[in-house]
Each structure stands twice: as C-alpha cells, then as structure tokens.
Copies of this chain bind each other. A is one copy, B any other.
C-alpha cells in the first residue's frame, strides 16, 4: 500500500481523524484522568440539548417507532447520536472513522422519503448504526488498526452495509479494535487504546471494544461488531450490554476485511451489540429478512423463523431447562460472576424453569485446538501486512509498554506469533476440532435423560469470562466464549443489572487450582480493582438457533429483572 514509516502514517491519520470532528463538539472541561467512571458525563457536559439527551437515552424499539411516526426526524436522531458519540470518543477513545456529514445527508434523504411517501424505507428507518472498523463502506478509509493500511479507502460496500442501508439505517461512525483484530482488548498504533466507561482503568474488552464503550455511553443505539473468539460478547458484557454471536452463515460477511484471510474454519461472524435485547432482535430480524443469501453465497437461506422465536421445539418456552456452567475446569470465575450465575438460577427457578448443572467437556482441548488453527499461518499474515510500514506487531496489551517510544526487546511474542505449520498439520487440527464438536453435540443430546422436559438442555448459561472487565492488559482468557466459535453455537450475552459489590463479592478462600492460569486468576481478584464493573452472563444455544436464543434471552432477562425488583413490586 505504502512505503511510509508507521509513525508518519499514524500522525497523518490522527490529524485526519481530528478534522472529522466538528470543532464545536470538542469539549474543554473533560473529566481528569483520575475520574474513572464517566458514564454520566455525556448528559452532564452541557453539549447535548434536553431533547438530544432524551433521544439518545431511548431504546431501539421506541426510537424506531418515533422515527416512523415522525415524532423525531432522522436528522434529529442522527445529530443527537453523533454528538453523543463524539463526546464518548473524547472520554474513552472509541471511534476510528467519523463521517457525520455523510450520515446527515443520508438522514435528510430518509426524512424526505418518509414525508413524500408516508412510508418508512425499511425496518431500520432512520436508526443510527455504528460499525466496527473492518466493515468497508465505499469511499471511506479503513485501517483495521494497522498503520500500514492508513490511506486505504474502500472501493465498495460490504454486503452488511448494503443490507443495513436498504433497511433504512444511518451509518455514522466506525469504532476501534486491536491491531489485526486478534485480541480481546482494544489497542492499536493508529488510534491508541479504548477505555471502559464504567471504570477507565479497566479494559472495555475486545476486539469490538470501541463498539462496547461507545454504546455503553449511548453514543450509538446499535452497533455491528464481530466475533471470532469472544469479540462481540466480551465487549458487550464488560460494558453492561447485550450482544449476539450468531452462527456461521446467518449474517452476511461478504466484503469484510480481516486478519487471517483464507482461514475458514473459525471465522469472524458479524453480530449486534445494543443496550437492549430489542436492538439485538431488530438487527437480526431485519438482516435475515432482507434475503442476504442473494448477495453472499455463504449465507444460509433462512428468513426469520417466527415459530422458532415462539420456541416451538423448546416446549413453547413454558418450562425450559437451563444448565449452568459454573466453571470450565480451567479457571474458576471470580466471586461476582458466580454470584450473577446464582442470581440467574434463582430468578429462573422463581419463574418456573428447570435449572441443572452443566458438565463441561474438554474445554481446554477445545481452546488449544482453536489456537492451533488460528495461529497456523498468522505470523506470516501479520508480517506481510506490517512489513510495509515497519509498524511493530503488538505482543501485549500491557499499557506500560509504549510502542511509540521504544519496544522492549525481551517482550515474549503473543500466542498467535508462533511459527506456522504445514497444511497437513493444519488439517489435523481442523479434524480434531470437528471431532470435539461432534463429541460435544452428543454430550448435549445425552442431557435428555436429566432435564425432565423430554428434551436435551434448552440452553447453557455460562460466564462470558472468568472475571468482569479487568485492568488493561489482563484480559487473556477467552475460554468461556471460544467454545461457541469452535462448535458454532449461537450465544447471547446480557447484563444482569448487577455490578461488583465489595461485600457480596468478597474474595473466597483459596481453592485447589485447576491450572497455573486458575491460580493467577484467583490472585488477581480484589473487589476494589473492579469498581463499578457490570456483570453479565452468556446464554448458549445450538447452531442456527438465533431466534430461539433471543427468545430464551428474553425469558432470562425478564426473570432477572423480576427478581431484581423489590419483592413488593411483583405483587
């Protein structure tokens, strides 16, 4: 692409990014670095009008209603979210490309369309949607966190962009991600590090950390993230949001750019992050009903299935049997996670569902084989891209390492930077993964004997990580999520409404450790470190069960909300 040095490219790009921000939206009175929780700042900073606060605090369903009935214009809604996104960016550094002019032109067209036809353009008419920075939009620069790719403008839309725009969405910003996307935190040389708005000393997770942080600050009502190991779910959970990892072949991925291209065993899937489950559902329903298989041959021809959403095949949702994965026999989760699972269990029992324990099966083997697959040719892939600008390949998310000054020579390489293997060895890893997937499928089928429903377990409820958002540099464990990528399970994450509580979540006495990782995780924990961090859970359904998993998510979400209310509120 280029032969410039990476530092020059970064400087050039940062200047260009700054120029995309309307000057009048630049905030002078930003909170000092020491202010960790900045969630309330956008509403209080004075930049947003009262109406803009109201609009940006509104969930996707009501937003769409108000847009459709012209209570709010698309221009108003786009302006409000754009302003709030820019505020968010100044707090937690979550944006990459900012194209508000384009968005406002588009919003004005939508307003005109509605006015002249009396109809909405599509099911997402006027809804601002943010996108992770590897989803091309024609004419817009896309670096994917690589300095080497500064100056690379997309010559066509990705399929999802075409679908969303045909559904009436207004795309307005793209969001930050780690270099090469292959980390569960969010830092790259071009845009720097994204912070967690609940506690800026913590990571927002990754790789869709920009989406997580932005949406938590209500700078976007709905974001398109992507997941190859954790990347929709960890940022959703670490930021108190809802997120879905759909199965392969449900949401069109055609035209997206990513690392490890051509590695087709464990691939990225696009999935939504939103602050409401309705947002997740609207995204999925709109996309799969737009016949995305016409534009992307890898998409399965399966429109939204209302029967499956009504849980036909799961006893119509009347008495579901959930299984809780308390731990994966690799790392015991921290006390807040276990408390949230127990809370969920009690809520589900109170709502009349069955709850059993889930027995994990070879989770460490699964995780190891996924790394074997992903790293089989990764080093060559990374080197090929970075060589043009000599940008350092990131080998740690530790914020004490400052790549812009000097990279310590003794940094151990990341787990992805191992020597490549032969195609034959790669096939053996793929074979092992397929065998493990079949074994787990059989294991799941066999639970029919213990559920009391006549069906196997309807869904697994699991941690999303063995901790809430940890301090920057310490999110190194994707074992609780990566099983869904390996085995192609549909996985929804949701917030429990709980946050870390120093008393309820006091450290537990030491246990017999499963592993060194388990010991390190145990030793990491002290409640004060994780102040204000939201606690979420993961609901795992089977392959291509998007409708059912969303419906079960609604059941779990309602049960938790009912339990969390003061008891009298239920009478």
Q: Are B297 and A300 in contact (CB under 8 A)?
A: no
Q: Assess whether A402 is interfacial by the CB under 8 Å rule.
A: no
Q: Are A434 and B296 in contact (CB under 8 A)?
A: no
Residues of B within 8 A of A302 (CB): 302
Q: Are B543 and A297 in contact (CB under 8 A)?
A: yes
Number of A residues, CB within 8 Å of B: 43
Residues of B within 8 A of A441 (CB): 295-297
Which residue of the partner chain B has the closest CB to A422?
B420
Q: Assess whether A414 is interfacial by the CB under 8 Å rule.
A: no
Q: Are B422 and A260 in contact (CB under 8 A)?
A: no
Which residue of the partner chain B has the closest CB to A378?
B424
Closest chain-B Cβ to A558's Cβ sits at a distance in Å of 26
Residues of B within 8 A of A422 (CB): 377, 380, 420-423
Q: Are B430 and A262 in contact (CB under 8 A)?
A: yes
Within 8 A of B (CB), among A429-450: 429-432, 434, 437-438, 441, 445
Question: Contacts A264-B430, A420-B422, A430-B263 known; A438 to B297 CB distance under 8 Å?
Answer: yes
Residues of B within 8 A of A298 (CB): 434, 437
In the complex, A296→B439 CA distance in Å? Answer: 10
Residues of B within 8 A of A420 (CB): 422-424
**Most B Cβ at <10 Å: residue of A260, A421, A427:** A427
**Most B Cβ at <10 Å: residue of A300, A426, A544:** A426
Residues of B within 8 A of A97 (CB): none
Q: Are B544 and A431 in contact (CB under 8 A)?
A: no
Q: Assess whether A381 is interfacial by the CB under 8 Å rule.
A: yes
Q: Are A301 and B544 in contact (CB under 8 A)?
A: yes
Q: Are B381 and A424 in contact (CB under 8 A)?
A: yes
Residues of B within 8 A of A430 (CB): 262-264
Q: Assess whether A140 is interfacial by the CB under 8 Å rule.
A: no
Residues of B within 8 A of A263 (CB): 427, 430
In the complex, A300→B299 CA distance in Å? Answer: 12
Q: Assess whether A265 is interfacial by the CB under 8 Å rule.
A: yes
Q: Assess whether A236 is interfacial by the CB under 8 Å rule.
A: no
Closest chain-B Cβ to A306's Cβ sits at a distance in Å of 15
Q: Assess whether A2 is interfacial by the CB under 8 Å rule.
A: no
Within 8 A of B (CB), among A202-224: none
Closest chain-B Cβ to A361's Cβ sits at a distance in Å of 14
Q: Assess whether A428 is interfacial by the CB under 8 Å rule.
A: yes
Q: Assess whether A47 is interfacial by the CB under 8 Å rule.
A: no
Q: Assess whether A493 is interfacial by the CB under 8 Å rule.
A: no
Residues of B within 8 A of A262 (CB): 426-432, 434
In the complex, A301→B376 CA distance in Å? Answer: 31
In the complex, A299→B425 CA distance in Å? Answer: 25
Closest chain-B Cβ to A2's Cβ sits at a distance in Å of 22
Q: Are B300 and A431 in contact (CB under 8 A)?
A: no
Q: Are A488 and B260 in contact (CB under 8 A)?
A: no
Which residue of the partner chain B has the closest CB to A379?
B424
Q: Assess whether A38 is interfacial by the CB under 8 Å rule.
A: no
Residues of B within 8 A of A365 (CB): none
- 1/0 per residue, CB under 8 A from B, across A287-315: the answer is 00000011111101110000000000000
In the complex, A487→B421 CA distance in Å? Answer: 27
Interchain Cβ contacts under 8 Å between A and B, 27 examples: A261-B427, A262-B427, A262-B428, A264-B264, A264-B265, A264-B430, A264-B434, A293-B543, A295-B441, A295-B445, A297-B437, A297-B487, A300-B300, A301-B544, A302-B302, A376-B423, A376-B427, A377-B422, A377-B423, A377-B425, A377-B427, A380-B422, A420-B424, A421-B422, A421-B423, A422-B423, A426-B426
